[in-house]
Amino acid sequence: MSRPEPELGTAAEYGRLTGREVDAVAASRGLVPDDLEVRLRADASSRNAVLALFAVGIGWLLIGSIFGEIASIKLHSPEFLTNHAWLTFGRVRTAHLHAVNYGWATAALIGMSLWLMPRLVHSELRDGRYAILGAVLFTIGIAIGIVAVLAGYSDGMEWLEAPRWVAGPFLVVGGGLIGFSLFRTVLARKSEHLYVSVWYILGAFIWFPMLYLVGKWPTYTGVESAAANWFFAHNVLGFWLTAMSLGGAYYFIPKVLGRPVYSYQLSVVGFWSLVMFYSLNGMHHLVGGPLPTWMITTSIVASVFMFIPVVATAINLHMTVVGRFGALRYSPTLRFVVIGSLSYTAVSLQGSFTALREVNRVTHFTHWTVAHSHVGGYAFVTFLAFGAIYYIVPRLVGREWPSERLIRWHFNLVLGGIALYVVALSWAGVLQGLALLDPATPFAESVRVTLPGLWGRTLAGLILTAGHVVFAYHFWLMVRKPGVATRTRPPLHEVRPVLYTAEAEAGRR
């Protein structure tokens, strides 16, 4: 075993556990003391980088929520905040997208990956200082990009508006340093087997640089530019946010339940069929556009074939949970991750359905698409990130979350908010699409029918923002005010959770 880096400390120092206590905790958890020590060393090695990324991500979540709410109000009250150019809809909406997708979701999932990888490969995080420096540069790049967009400087491509020559260098160097630390950790691994979560996370860090290079290549013009834009915009969901989120789902569900994933073979099918079919999906956003028909048709066929990885993953995760749904009562991590996994199934099947020309001609250019993207970006990705943070942070700060009530408020607010958001905009989108297809209906009528849904969107945004404020306040209590913690020992000291299943109830009687 290689000697640990001095700044990481030893497992016994982490959480102020003595060697005897480590042995006692290992015995109570049914672990070999050496295995427990590996986990403690892994957690200690990634602690600073992970907490910094979570804090930055939550900050961007709050900022992005405010921008999103302003943009939403402008859709039904266009005179709202019109005296300043930087607050116009086009700039504020783009700032919202960058803040929540790159600032929040990306930072939170990278933090999760930096914590997961050392545990899964039984090695400490290598070059953690580079990861922290990378996180700082990445955050600066996002901030520069958002300020530039608000100031009116944009590359004019969906999901890629941040100026390539100003924000791009910070994003590339910052992401590269984080990836360097992650790959160095994998190369130093002590486990021979690479768990399925490692496949997805490593894949994400290989795919994203390629996508960014293609999307930001400066010589595209016209139709080429549109094709490259949607190649990036769709695949950054599937090969970046989705890949890291699925890596988290495959870790946290079995981990919380204390049982292995249902099928290794289904994991293989799900991973490689995702790689095969998802990369071709992006052109279905350009149905009816001036692209060769074969490109659009190939994309539609690949979108339909996405049912293979989606169903394989859904069966695998569902069968891992089946019989243990009672555990959702006590575990906030499981609640968020299971609902996020269900949302992955829903949004993927909905995407395959929407890619069909007969459906696309109704839903394209309507609010249906916005609702669909929020099922993926929020109900799936963000819920996975929430669940990961609830699981990881107690293991890094050595105490439990201060308030179960705040967790319940957070969960109920964001679940109710996203449900209202999706229902309101899906309904408005269908009405809008049908009105647009009717030549006898004036265009103004296609706008009027969406107003109830747009008001519902604004109300949902307020509810979601309230949930984010509760979550941010709870996170601040957790990391900044140790005095309010109800427990002084790390979660490893907790007794095994009691599952309220039908069998347990029968035994109790």
Helix (H, G, I), strand (E, B) or coil at 377: helix
C-alpha distances out from residue 409 to 236, 337, 415, 469, Å: 31, 17, 10, 11
Assess contact for 240 and 204: CB atoms under 8 A: yes
pTM of the model: 0.89
Distance CA 275, CA 255 (A): 25
First vs last C-alpha separation in the chain: 51
Buried b (16+ CB within 10 A) or exposed e, 82-103: eeeeebebebbbbbbbbbbbbb
Give the list of residues 6+ apart from residue 308 with CB closer than 8 angstroms, or none: 269, 273, 277
Q: Give residue for tokens 């265009």.
A: 443
What does 262-278 look like in DSSP terms, one character per residue?
S-HHHHHHHHHHHHHHH
Position 44 scores a pLDDT of 86
Rg (alpha carbons) of the chain, rounded to whole number: 23
Assess contact for 100 and 94: CB atoms under 8 A: no
The total of other beta-carbon atoms located within 10 Å of residue 329's CB is 12
Assess contact for 186 and 117: CB atoms under 8 A: yes
C-alpha distances out from residue 199 to 194, 210, 354, 370, Å: 7, 17, 29, 30
What are phi and psi for residue 336, nearest 5 degrees? -65, -45
Buried b (16+ CB within 10 A) or exposed e, 203-213: bbbebbeebbe
Angle between helices 332-355 and 367-374 (to 10 degrees): 140
Distance CA 426, CA 43 (A): 42
Position 22 scores a pLDDT of 63
Task: Give CB contacts under 8 A, 24+ apart, made by 212-217.
Answer: 212/171, 212/172, 215/157, 215/159, 215/160, 216/155, 216/160, 216/164, 216/168
Give the list of residues 6+ apart from residue 505 with CB closer than 8 angstroms, or none: none
Distance CA 191, CA 59 (A): 35
- The pLDDT profile of the chain, 509 residues, written as one tens digit per residue, is 333 333 333 343 454 556 666 666 666 555 666 677 778 888 888 999 999 999 999 999 999 999 999 999 999 999 999 888 999 999 999 999 999 999 999 999 999 999 999 999 988 999 989 999 999 999 999 999 999 999 999 998 888 999 988 998 999 999 999 999 999 999 998 888 889 999 999 999 999 999 999 988 888 888 889 999 999 999 999 999 999 999 999 999 999 998 899 999 999 999 999 999 998 888 888 888 888 999 999 999 999 999 999 999 999 999 999 888 888 888 999 999 999 999 999 999 999 999 999 999 999 889 999 999 999 999 999 999 999 999 999 989 888 898 989 999 999 999 999 999 999 999 999 999 999 999 999 999 999 999 999 999 999 999 999 999 999 999 999 988 555 444 444 444 343 443 434 444 444 44
Helix (H) or strand (E) holding 70: helix 33-76
Give the list of residues 6+ apart from residue 433 with CB closer than 8 angstroms, or none: 361, 362, 363, 364, 365, 366, 368
Position 190 scores a pLDDT of 84
Comparing CA positions, the residue from 233, 234, 340 lying closest to residue 278 is 234
Two structure tokens written together for 20: 């005897």
Distance CA 215, CA 155 (A): 11
Torsion of CA 285, 287, 293, 297, to 10 degrees: 70
Q: Give residue for tokens 């089946």.
A: 322
Distance CA 51, CA 384 (A): 17
Assess contact for 76 and 451: CB atoms under 8 A: yes
DSSP letter, residue 406? H
Position 37 scores a pLDDT of 75
Assess contact for 174 and 197: CB atoms under 8 A: no
Q: Give residue for tokens 């919202």.
A: 96
C-alpha distances out from residue 158 to 38, 209, 290, 323, Å: 43, 17, 18, 43
Condensed to tens digits (0 to 9), the pLDDT of residues 288-331 reads 888 899 999 999 999 999 999 999 999 999 999 988 888 888 89
Quick one: residue 9, left, alpha or beta (phi over 0 = left, psi -120 to 50 = alpha)? left
Helix (H) or strand (E) holding 160: none
Q: How many helices (H) and strands (E) does the chain have?
A: 20, 0
What does 282-322 look like in DSSP terms, one character per residue?
GGGGGTTSSS-HHHHHHHHHHHHHTHHHHHHHHHHHHHHHT
Condensed to tens digits (0 to 9), the pLDDT of residues 434-491 reads 999 999 999 999 999 999 999 999 999 999 999 999 999 999 999 885 554 444 444 4
